[in-house]
Amino acid sequence: MKFIRFILAIFICIILFSNPSISQESSAEGTKQNRTESVDEDRENIFYKVPDGKNKEVFNTAVTEHIVINKGIQDFYTVPFVETKWLDSIINSEIDWHEKLQILEKTYRKTFQRRAQLRSGQNDRSVRIENYTQNISKLEKEIAEIRRQIVQINVDQQVFISSLSKTPITALVAVKSLYTPDLMSNKKKLDILNSTFFKSMEEPVLGHIESTYEKKIDIPLQTGHIRITYMYPENITHFDSDANEHVYLFLRVESYPFSTVTSKDSNIKNKEIEVEILSNIKQIQTYLQEKEVGDKRLFDWLNKEYNNQKLNNEHLLNTITGKLEDFNMFRKGLEQSISELRLKVDDITTKRDSLVGSGNAELIESEYRRAKELYHQYYAKRRVLTHEKYTLENDVMFSRFNIEVEANKNAKKQMVDSDIAANIPISGRPLKDIFADILITANKNSKINLQKYRERIYTANEEQTQLIQGALEWEVESEDFSILKLTRGNVGSRSHFVLHLAKRTNLNSKPGFPAPKSGLCKSTLLFKRGKNEMRNSSKPALNKLAKCLRKYPKQIIKITGHTDPLKPNYGEGSKYSNVSLGLKRAEALMKSLIAMEFNSGRFIVVSKGSMDPVAIGRDNKELEKNRRVEVVSSPNE
């Protein structure tokens, strides 16, 4: 019986291929399938969102619209152009997605490598930048303190200048005036003179003081006032050609050029009073000779008075100028200190700024961040295209519903439980209802195999020093489908209801990476016996250690110093001195690392003395291993 069916199937195929019109007539219900290929080519796929649960309306709509657009069901033996195009789209989308992922991954790895190379030097630079910044801050504080001292000096100078308001500068003044009884009276003579002669004497006396002393003391003089404090006691008179008697007065006048207080006297300047400032001995002699007044006693008094005034004025002048020079000297010294400190600040700032990085460093960082963002964004979501085929076989005995997703399937894989097939009645039902039920059943039983889309991805570790590999898994966000082909055909005694679908599945990524591992730096460096000097043989190890420590700038560095055990003759000392020596060795290594621009705040320094030897005995070469410093830097430290 099977052999007869096989021969019959071959015969039908030969007839169908030899006469296309016969094959069309043999299709289900004689539906017209003579649509031109251009119709298939022009038709765009119409996608419907896969609903949650059983939503028969969506599937009925999809089937109905497909039959209407295609004017019936399609040819059983023909592959429509839209299906061929969709299969090409599946292949191309897979190729394009992986090619772009590889390009982005390559760019990400390349920019990360450039950045890592840059940062390997920047870790060291960051420590140096921090040290430079701290030094700049310290110098700026010194400058601020010096400026405060300069302000205080200016205040003190102003206080000193203000105190000069009551300090007089004396002048020797000769006054010629008409004789009056008041001038000749001894009682209140000075008060009368101060009241009568003030306006006539004030201007020439203050003018003389200003022209003589202002440039020397370098202080702007004020309006000032004067006061007569002494007068030559003898009355000296002289008659002119009109027999008018004139009185000659020789006065000691105190001027207050640093005072802003002016005289309250309102008397008017007397034009009949002649005032002469006697500023030197020669002028005194000339004045007495010209006026034909006085004698040797007057000249001696004037000479003595002038010399006393000169001495007092010069002493006062030297005191003032000396004090002002002190203020200026201190101020200039502090300003010089500021200039020197500012030069240091500028020099350190230049060095610091040179380490911050050029535009190239900023470009590398920018390119890395951009590449990282594009790479991570790209695999955050993905759309997967698939092709699914569903077949419902029906004959007089039973119905079978086959889900054909893969090309090579054996008979067992194609068969489904007859109970499921029994849920799709065939007899007497419209085709659109049958295909809608096939869609519902397919949606219920078809799940995308997410394991097929696992990807290898990369990300930087916590210390940003290397890339770690992870696995990219997915979860379904949404699905939609489009019907590519609906057809029915007869093979032997069986009727085949065939449904071809285009599926688009939107996925959200679930990146998985191993727990980050932080780096560990560990080294042992040997020292000379009884000293805190490192052996020359350990210097390469120190450089290697420094290179490792720079990779992890946030880790604390623990330095432990050790010595020989307590043994006579070949040990390193007492218990106390060994602890001290171990500490000195640890501190010496710390200073070496600080000199290499490591931040001093990262270190923990301890000493175990001779309590933890790694070698015992009398062999000096073995004991050398005890004279050591151990360095450990890890996240736990």
pLDDT at 631 > cutoff 80: yes
- 380 φ, ψ to 5°? -70, -35
| pLDDT at residue 412 greater than cutoff 80 | no
Query: Which of 62-66, 299-303, 490-494 is the least confident region?
Result: 490-494
- Is residue 326 within 8 A of residue 337, CB to CB? The reply is no
Q: Which phi and psi angles does 553 have, rounded to 5°?
A: -65, -15
pLDDT surpassing 70 at residue 611 = yes
| pLDDT tens profile 54-87 | 667 888 888 888 888 888 888 888 888 888 999 9
Measured between alpha carbons, how far is 318 from 37 in angstroms, rounded to an integer?
119
The residue-averaged pLDDT of 420-437 equals 73
SS (H, E, C) 397-448: CCEEEEEECCCCCCHHHHCCCHHHHHCCCCCCCCHHHHHHHHHHHHHHHCCC
Are 49 and 59 spatial neighbours (Cβ–Cβ below 8 Å)? no
471 pLDDT band, cuts 50/70/90, is confident
4 or 256, which is more confident? 256
Instruction: Choose the most confident range, by mean pLDDT, from 292-296, 404-408, 534-538.
Output: 534-538
Instruction: Summarize pLDDT for 133-189 with one digit per residue, the tens.
Output: 888 999 999 999 999 999 999 999 889 888 888 888 899 988 888 877 666 555 455
Kindly give, in sequence order, each residue whose CB lies less than 8 Å from that of residue 389, ignoring residues fewer than 6 positions away.
403, 404, 405, 498, 499, 500, 501
Q: How far is CA 443 from CA 52, 54, 446, 500, in A?
A: 10, 9, 5, 13
Query: Is the dihedral angle over the CA atoms 581, 586, 589, 591 positive or is it negative?
Result: negative
Average confidence (pLDDT) over 35-42:
37
Lowest mean pLDDT of 85-94, 241-250, 278-287, 577-586, name the range: 241-250
Higher per-residue pLDDT: 497 or 222: 497
Instruction: Please give the residue that has the higher pLDDT: either 468 or 28.
Output: 468
The pLDDT, as a whole number, for residue 461 is: 67
Which pLDDT tens digit goes with each residue over 173-232? 888 888 776 665 554 555 555 566 666 777 888 888 888 877 777 777 776 778 877 778
Of the two residues 5 and 118, the one the predictor is more confident about is 118
The DSSP H or E segment spanning 260 is: none
pLDDT at 224: 72
Local structure of residue 626 (DSSP, 8 states) = G
Residues 441-454 pLDDT 10s: 877 777 788 888 88
Over 60: is that where the pLDDT of 234 sits? yes
The yes-or-no verdict on residue 40 having pLDDT over 70 is no
Confidence of residue 339 (pLDDT cuts 50, 70, 90): very high
Burial tier of 410 (Cβ tally within 10 Å: 0-12, 13-18, 19+): exposed
pLDDT bucket at 304, cuts 50 / 70 / 90: very high
Average pLDDT over residues 340-358: 84
pLDDT of 133: 86
- Closest of 512, 524, 522 to residue 585, by C-alpha: 524
**Spatial CB neighbours of 497, under 8 Å, sequence gap ≥ 6:** 391, 392, 393, 394, 426, 431, 434, 435, 438, 487, 488
Beta-ladder partners of 249: 175
pLDDT of residue 526: 93
Q: Is it the case that residue 422 has pLDDT exceeding 60?
A: no
Segments in 164-237 forming alpha helices (H): 181-184, 189-217
Share the mean pLDDT of the chain: 78
Pairing of strands 603-609, 557-562: parallel
Confidence of residue 421 (pLDDT cuts 50, 70, 90): very low
Minimal CA–CA distance to 522: which of 549, 552, 553? 549
- CA 430 vs. chain centroid, Å, equals 72
Q: What share of the chain is helix, strand, coil (3-state, %, to 5)?
A: 50, 20, 25
Q: What is the 3-state secondary structure (H, E, C) of 349-361?
A: HHHHHHHHCCHHH
* Contact by Cβ (8 Å): 390, 438: yes
Cα(513)–Cα(239) distance, integer angstroms: 123
pLDDT exceeds cutoff 60 at 10: no
pLDDT at 324 over 80: yes
**pLDDT greater at residue 568 or residue 573:** 573
Parallel, antiparallel, or unpaired: how do β-strands 245-256 and 603-609 relate? unpaired
Q: Distance between CA 236 and CA 248 in Å, rounded?
A: 5
Q: What is the pLDDT of residue 176?
A: 85
CB distance 593 to 546 below 8 Å: yes
Q: Quote the CA–CA distance of 96 and 556 in Å, as a whole number.
A: 47
HSE at residue 400, side-chain half, CA atoms within 13 A, is 13
- HEC string of 26-90 equals HCHHHCCCCCCHHHHHHCCCCCEECCCCCCHHHHHHHHHHHHHHCCCCCCCCCCCHHHHHHHHHH
Q: What integer pLDDT is reported at residue 249 of this predicted model?
A: 84
One-letter amino acid for residue 481 of the chain: F
Sign of CA dihedral 567, 573, 574, 576: negative
Q: First and final CA of the chain: distance in angstroms? A: 84
pLDDT at 254 over 60: yes
Residue 112 reports pLDDT greater than 80: yes
pLDDT surpassing 60 at residue 268: no
**Predicted local distance difference test score (pLDDT) of residue 523:** 92
